[in-house]
Amino acid sequence: MSKTIKQISGAEAVIRCLLEEDVNLIYGYPGGAIMPIYDELYKFSKELTHILTRHEQGAIHAAQGFSRASGKVGVAMATSGPGATNLVTGLADAQLDSTPVVCITGQVGAHLLGTDAFQEIDIISISMPVTKWNYQVTNVEEIPEILAKAFYIARSGRPGPVLIDITKNAQFDTFDYSYKKCKGIRSYNIQEDVEEESNLEEAVQAINNAKKPLIVFGQGVILGKAEDELKEFIEKTGIPAAWTILGLSALPSKHPLNVGMVGMHGNYAPNLLTNECDVLIAIGMRFDDRVTGNVQTYASQAKIIHLEIDSAEINKNIKVDIPLLGNCKNSLQLLTQKVIKKEHPEWRNRFNELLQEEYDVVIKKDLYPEKPGLTMGEVIRLINQYTKGEAIIVTDVGQHQMVTCRYAEFTKSKSNITSGGLGTMGFALPSAIGAKMGAPEREVVAVIGDGGYQMNIQELGTIFQNKTAVKIVVLNNNFLGMVRQWQQLFFDKRYASTEMVNPDFIKIAQAFDITAKKVEAREDLEDAVKEMILSKESYFLEVCVEKEDNVFPMIPTGASVSDIRLK
């Protein structure tokens, strides 16, 4: 417990609590109801850096990017009313993608609650469905305990977002301050170690007896810091390993047992062979509908083993045969000790055959196109070439996201940052800012579509003010590309409200003092990508790609993973 400090304000206590939790960087936007806290921030500016974003949604997405790149809890602040409600999309995004963030919002004085006072909104009720926990502080003496709980809940177990709403009187009032970090909460139980010994033995037996086993791993591996344990388990068992979109980068892209992405636009082999494997080992993933397709046919022939820290996810979407509840870091260690070493050469060869088929039909034309128009895939290939797989790549949502996740190459974990569960357009630009600040030693490249880019384009101002060396690539097809693809394939090419008339992106970037270049021809592309990556400052690259290119493979909505189409 920290020493007692006599009679300080609640606002100062908030800052001291953040410092106790090793927070040194926060994102936010000031306003009337949170002004006392901002006044204290001014006094503590040497110890705590505040980044003024241009919108509260930018603040929380930046906090998410910071968290995903650094592994720490991201922090965002906003005022009451519209400031607080502008955080909701980011809270929902963080909730679905298990990102630990703590949001602090100001609120009108306790005596005004329920009176519809100026900028009063019941943010507790609004945010309850999209937070792991939320709480309204009306008494100054609650502040240390509640903020300690907030950080503990945000980072422990399955991480997630927490919102703490603090009334203005609690910010102004004074009390005797001391801080004690939270190490546990009654009735909030975290299952870290596997307790079901019989389930563990059953899982080992199933893995040892499997002829066609398949691993599908998700972000739980990264959140559980289990990358080394996953690699050791895979290499001992010889089992092909596929990943969900949020699991990408937990295993090096070029690892011989990495067989690619599962899901709607994932790779051909792991999707098709999900319905041929005899044992499916799901590690730190939640069987999202984009992964499973039709749940009635998903791996129905296989014995399913599920390593998962959140008990609510077991049997939620897919009935599993052997649940292993706990942190997958611990579960994988136990399994690796007990399983026998294998190689499965014939089964692995089946993946290689299907990969070659996908390469011939899809990948080759994406990465090495012969037609004159530029493809998204060749842009990603060149980014790989000049970053050598060592960059953090942040994607927005849409066709470019699927292409990037399919083709980006990574050598280390925490390198793929994207909006998975919510699919939030506008996520990438502010998130890339946070990622660069969370891992300043790493190159950060944001790959964005022309639609999503314009949703939070104002955050160029944050880059400008803070001189943040983010590299921004806009793949411009003058369409809301993913929606247009669906309209083409399933709505007889009725392109309803998906064609974009875009502004001059180069002039906009230059207005924020960002070096900018536009590429429309293949002969100019490689030099532009190289120049961007070598730049020590922020850089904007617009690449005009084919207007009506589609992303394949593709599993139609509601179809089985076996129905994946190559064209």
Residue 535 pLDDT exceeds 80: yes
Residue 554 lies in a domain: no
Q: Return the minimum-mean-pLDDT range out of 157-161, 188-192, 276-280, 432-436.
A: 188-192
Residue 132 pLDDT exceeds 90: yes
Residue 466's Cβ-count burial label (10 Å; 0-12, 13-18, 19+) is middle
Catalytic pick among 77, 455, 482, 554? 482
Which H or E run includes 215?
strand 213-217
Residue 242 pLDDT exceeds 80: yes
- Let me know if 119 is a catalytic residue: yes
- Residue 282 half-sphere exposure toward CB, CA atoms < 13 A: 30
Q: Looking at residue 393, which CATH number applies to its domain?
A: 3.40.50.970
Residue 383's Cβ-count burial label (10 Å; 0-12, 13-18, 19+) is buried
Query: CB–CB of 292/262 below 8 Å?
Result: no
Q: Quick one: pLDDT at residue 70?
A: 98
Catalytic pick among 95, 120, 132, 168? 168
Residues 347 and 381 in one domain: no
The DSSP line for 227-238 is HHHHHHHHHHHT
Q: Quick one: pLDDT at residue 194?
A: 78
Dihedral sign computed on CA atoms, order 250, 252, 253, 255:
negative
Residues 429 and 527 in one domain: yes
Query: CB–CB of 507/460 below 8 Å?
Result: no
Residue 509 lies in a domain: yes
Peptide bond connecting 553 to the previous residue in cis, omega within 30 degrees of 0: yes
Residue 99 lies in a domain: yes
Q: Quick one: pLDDT at residue 485?
A: 92
Number of domains in the chain: 3
Per-residue model confidence as pLDDT tens digits over 55-113: 999 999 999 999 999 999 999 999 999 999 999 999 999 999 999 999 999 999 999 99
Q: Quick one: pLDDT at residue 453?
A: 98
Residue 195 pLDDT exceeds 80: no
Per-residue confidence band for 388, with pLDDT thresholds at 50, 70 and 90: very high
Residue 441 pLDDT exceeds 80: yes
Q: How far is CA 353 from CA 256, 268, 299, in A?
A: 14, 10, 21
pTM: 0.97
Residues 172 and 226 in one domain: no
Entry field: residues in the chain:
567
Residues 52 and 109 in one domain: yes
Q: Quick one: pLDDT at residue 230?
A: 98
Which H or E run includes 6?
strand 5-9
Q: For the chain, state the CA radius of gyration.
A: 24
Strands, E, within 138-297: which ranges?
161-167, 174-177, 213-217, 241-243, 258-261, 279-283
Secondary structure tally for the chain: helices H, strands E = 24, 20
Q: Can you read off the two tokens belonging to residue 405?
A: 């996740």
Q: How far is CA 234 from CA 44, 60, 242, 329, 561, in A?
A: 48, 36, 11, 13, 23
Among 9, 154, 165, 144, which Cα is nearest to 77's? Answer: 165
Per-residue confidence band for 333, with pLDDT thresholds at 50, 70 and 90: very high
Query: CB–CB of 249/412 below 8 Å?
Result: yes
Catalytic pick among 119, 191, 333, 385? 119
- Let me know if 482 is a catalytic residue: yes
Backbone φ, ψ for residue 249 (5° rounding): 95, -10
Per-residue model confidence as pLDDT tens digits over 200-220: 999 999 999 999 999 999 999
Q: Quick one: pLDDT at residue 324?
A: 96
Residues 315 and 202 in one domain: yes
Per-residue confidence band for 189, with pLDDT thresholds at 50, 70 and 90: confident
Q: Can you read off the two tokens belonging to residue 297?
A: 């046919």
Residues 204 and 308 in one domain: yes
Residue 198 pLDDT exceeds 90: no
Residue 363 lies in a domain: no
Per-residue model confidence as pLDDT tens digits over 468-505: 999 999 999 999 999 999 899 989 999 999 999 999 99
Q: Which residues pair with 281 in a beta bridge?
A: 215, 305
What value does the mean pLDDT of the chain take? Answer: 96
Amino acid at 164: I
- Give dist(CA 460, CA 289) in Å, integer: 34
Catalytic pick among 118, 172, 490, 491? 118
Among 76, 55, 80, which Cα is nearest to 137's? Answer: 80
Per-residue confidence band for 506, with pLDDT thresholds at 50, 70 and 90: very high
Residue 343 pLDDT exceeds 90: yes
Which H or E run includes 450?
helix 450-453
Say how many Å lie between the first and final Cα of the chain, rounded.
Answer: 62
- Give dist(CA 450, CA 434) in Å, integer: 21
Domain boundary residue among 177, 211, 237?
177
Residues 260 and 325 in one domain: yes
Q: Looking at residue 228, which CATH number applies to its domain?
A: 3.40.50.1220
- Let me know if 388 is a catalytic residue: no
Residues 247 and 278 in one domain: yes
* The residue to which tokens 């083709």 are assigned: 407
Per-residue confidence band for 246, with pLDDT thresholds at 50, 70 and 90: very high
Q: Which residues, including other chains, have CB under 8 Å from residue 128's CB and lie 6 or more apart?
A: 134
Residues 321 and 376 in one domain: no
Q: Quick one: pLDDT at residue 250?
A: 98
Dihedral sign computed on CA atoms, order 381, 382, 383, 386:
positive
- Let me know if 168 is a catalytic residue: yes
Residue 192 lies in a domain: no
Residue 272: give the domain boundaries.
Answer: 197-351
Residue 567 lies in a domain: no
Per-residue confidence band for 190, with pLDDT thresholds at 50, 70 and 90: confident
Query: Which percentage of the chain shows pLDDT scores above 90?
Result: 96
Mean pLDDT of 124-137: 98
Backbone φ, ψ for residue 467 (5° rounding): 55, 45
Query: CB–CB of 65/97 below 8 Å?
Result: no
Residue 553 lies in a domain: no
Residue 562 lies in a domain: no
DSSP 140: G
Q: Quick one: pLDDT at residue 554?
A: 94
Q: Quick one: pLDDT at residue 557?
A: 85
Residues 168 and 260 in one domain: no
Residues 162 and 256 in one domain: no
- Long-range CB pairs of 200-205 (<8 Å, 24+ gap) are 200/324, 200/331, 200/334, 200/335, 200/338, 201/338, 202/322, 203/305, 203/322, 203/324, 203/335, 204/335, 204/338, 204/339
* The residue to which tokens 């055959």 are assigned: 353
Q: Can you read off the two tokens belonging to residue 425?
A: 């357009």
CA angle 271, 274, 279 (to 5 degrees): 155
CA angle 150, 156, 161 (to 5 degrees): 50
- Give dist(CA 176, CA 199) in Å, integer: 51
Residues 270 and 377 in one domain: no
Residue 196 pLDDT exceeds 80: no
Q: Return the minimum-mean-pLDDT range out of 38-52, 124-138, 548-562.
A: 548-562
Say whether 421 sits in a helix, a strand or coil.
coil
Catalytic pick among 12, 21, 40, 56? 56
